[in-house]
A and B are shown apart, each in its own frame.
Chain A
Amino acid sequence: MENPAFVVLSQQMALSKQMDVIANNLANVNTPAYRSQTLLFNEFLGKATNPGITGAGSKIAFVGLGGTLPDIRPGPVEPTGNQLDFALQGRGYFAVSTPDGTRYTRDGHFQINGQGQLVNAQGFQVVDPQGRPLTVPQGAATIEVTPTGTLSSDKGPIGSLQLVKFDSDVAMQRVGTDLYQTDSPTQPVDPTTTVKQGMIEGSNVQPVVEVSRMIQVQRAYEAAQTMITNEHDRDLQAIQVLTKTS
């Protein structure tokens, strides 16, 4: 008897999650290398509560959460003029060493710490293919990078950036602060993937798309609420009519 209301409730819960995803996209409209997310719904079949019905119609479809899919198109590359800003053109990630293990990022806004090591904005070491930190020689004034990620300074070579790609960019787990984590094995990047110095990759959030999606979600949520209200009225009417005794 309550089934329609529960189906609509499952939709409302999914829509409110989608609203969270849209809010996060819009909050990160200026975050470097941020990849916008979309929430995928899937059908969740539950058993109908009406006994005696078998075969077709015996199950009801609820709305479930399928997954958050990132939009893996690259963001616009913006020049910053900072020699320690790197943008990756093509598929791939930089590797940084964190206390929890190696994490991957496309946000190439790097700095140098007190030991002369190349670090990201949180101070985690950016590592070379062997997982070692990259140390800039004392007193170096300029740093150059080749398209393949080899760093050198006016005081001598520094090393290479570890550039990796994975089978699936979609399956990367986000850990916040522009870092990603994955269990899948690393692969060397394609030769077409290049490092650009003095540039930062922007966020690929398309505000127009997000705002129109937001309106859609809001209206769907309201429609679902109307459905619940109507269903409630129908129940009430049924009770009133069926319990009339005169």
Chain B
Amino acid sequence: MRSLSIAATGMLAQQLNVEVISNNIANMNTTAYKRQRAEFQDLLYQSERRVGSQAADNNSIVPAGVELGLGVKTAAVYRITEQGNLTTTGNQLDLAIQGKGYFQVTLPDNTIAYTRAGSFQLDQNGNIVTADGLKITGANAIPSNATSITINQSGQIFVSQQGQTQLAAAGQFSLVSFINDTGLQPLGNNMFIQTQASGNPTIGTAGNQGFGTILQGFLESSNVNTVQEITNLISAQRAYEMNSKVIQASDEMLQTLNNTH
């Protein structure tokens, strides 16, 4: 009874599906979280009777062979990079990217990570940093006597200082884009690093072609659609149950054999 092991692959796949869905629901309030989707593929097939083989002496050809599949496997768990909703926060260092692009963050080992979660803060030196204290590329240190910070749609930073009428420029956020966002590797803490699959980053300015605009005082919410996740959860659970029913039915079929005599 191969159906026992085939159904087991189905249960494993649905279990992973539920894990992905539960991670999406757990991150429904995570800034700039992109929901994930598990993708499955059918496993190998065993040909019991090959398509196109000769059926009999009269040269008739088998139109459809007997191909028994051996179950399912997980091909990928990939992110769906749809724009999340923008929520206003009023905080002058909360930045949302509307459209394509990532902020660049310098990790402690000096490599660059990428994030769309723009809930930034100032550190003790006036640097604009992420919630984990990592520096954002492009922004200069904000002088300590600054009264307010203004960031325009292209990511240019201006500060107004006590006793000065003119706004002083304090750098500009640059954005990067990837040809294949899905190929970025998540690091956790809303950050990603580039991989071979994502391609090399293209550095550009917010608002230019191929890049989104930066909005001050907004945050991008997660693009998790709870209704959709719950319906996915229900269908994953039912699919799991159906596969376990297959195991049960196969088991009962074997039992039929054992119970005779």
A155-177, CB < 8 A from B? 168, 170-177
**B1 to A: closest C-beta gap in Å:** 6
Query: Is A109 touching B63 in the complex (CB atoms < 8 A)?
Result: no
* A214 with B42, Cβ < 8 A, contacts A112-B180, A113-B197, A225-B257 known: no
Binds B, one of A31-39, A45-53, A94-102, A189-197: A31-39
Partner of A19, one of B41, B202, B253: B253
A137-185, CB < 8 A from B? 138-143, 153-154, 168, 170-178, 182-183
Query: Is B252 touching A174 in the complex (CB atoms < 8 A)?
Result: no
Query: Is B239 touching A32 in the complex (CB atoms < 8 A)?
Result: no
Binds B, one of A124-132, A215-223, A237-245: A215-223
B40-76, CB < 8 A from A? 40-45, 47-52, 62-73, 75-76
Partner of B202, one of A80, A139, A222: A139
Residues of B within 8 A of A66 (CB): 64, 66
Closest to B17 in A: A30
Closest to A184 in B: B52
Closest to A40 in B: B64
Query: Is A141 touching B100 in the complex (CB atoms < 8 A)?
Result: yes
**Bound complex: CA of A120 vs CA of B140, how far in Å?**
42
Partner of A174, one of B67, B72, B243, B253: B67
| B6, B17, B183, B197 — most chain A CB neighbours (10 Å) | B6
Query: Is B52 touching A68 in the complex (CB atoms < 8 A)?
Result: no
A189-242, CB < 8 A from B? 207, 210-211, 214-215, 217-218, 221-222, 225, 228-229, 232
Check: A61 CB closer than 8 A to any chain B CB: no
**Bound complex: CA of A207 vs CA of B67, how far in Å?**
20
**Bound complex: CA of A221 vs CA of B252, how far in Å?**
10
**B32 to A: closest C-beta gap in Å:** 15
Partner of A16, one of B48, B197, B253: B253
* A111 with B197, Cβ < 8 A, contacts A19-B250, A27-B6, A211-B245 known: yes
Residues of A within 8 A of B106 (CB): none
**Bound complex: CA of A116 vs CA of B239, how far in Å?**
37
* A121 with B39, Cβ < 8 A, contacts A141-B211, A225-B257 known: yes
Query: Is A174 touching B242 in the complex (CB atoms < 8 A)?
Result: no
Query: Is A111 touching B182 in the complex (CB atoms < 8 A)?
Result: yes
Residues of B within 8 A of A16 (CB): 1, 3, 253
Query: Is A214 touching B2 in the complex (CB atoms < 8 A)?
Result: no
Binding site of A, secondary structure by majority: helix, strand, loop or mixed? Answer: mixed
Query: Is A211 touching B242 in the complex (CB atoms < 8 A)?
Result: yes
Query: Is A31 touching B1 in the complex (CB atoms < 8 A)?
Result: no
* A228 with B260, Cβ < 8 A, contacts A23-B7, A174-B45 known: yes
Check: A73 CB closer than 8 A to any chain B CB: no
Residues of A within 8 A of B75 (CB): 109, 121-122, 177-178
Partner of B249, one of A40, A177, A215: A215
Partner of B72, one of A27, A67, A122: A27
Query: Is B197 touching A26 in the complex (CB atoms < 8 A)?
Result: no
Partner of B13, one of A21, A30, A142, A178: A30
User: What are 27 pairs between A and B in contact, CB < 8 Å?
Assistant: A23-B3, A24-B71, A26-B10, A26-B246, A27-B13, A27-B69, A27-B71, A28-B40, A31-B40, A65-B49, A67-B66, A81-B82, A82-B182, A111-B197, A112-B199, A138-B200, A139-B200, A141-B177, A171-B63, A173-B65, A174-B45, A174-B69, A176-B69, A176-B70, A177-B73, A207-B238, A217-B249
Known contacts A139-B179, A170-B63, A222-B252; 19 additional CB pairs below 8 A are A23-B250, A26-B243, A30-B38, A30-B40, A32-B41, A40-B64, A65-B66, A67-B49, A67-B63, A70-B64, A80-B80, A114-B197, A136-B179, A141-B202, A176-B70, A177-B42, A207-B242, A211-B242, A228-B260
Report the 5 A-B pairs with minimum CB-CB distance, sorted nearest first. A27-B10, A141-B210, A24-B69, A23-B3, A67-B64
A interface with B by C-beta (< 8 Å): 16-17, 19-24, 26-32, 34, 37, 39-40, 65-70, 80-82, 84, 107, 109, 111-114, 116, 121-122, 136, 138-143, 153-154, 168, 170-178, 182-183, 207, 210-211, 214-215, 217-218, 221-222, 225, 228-229, 232
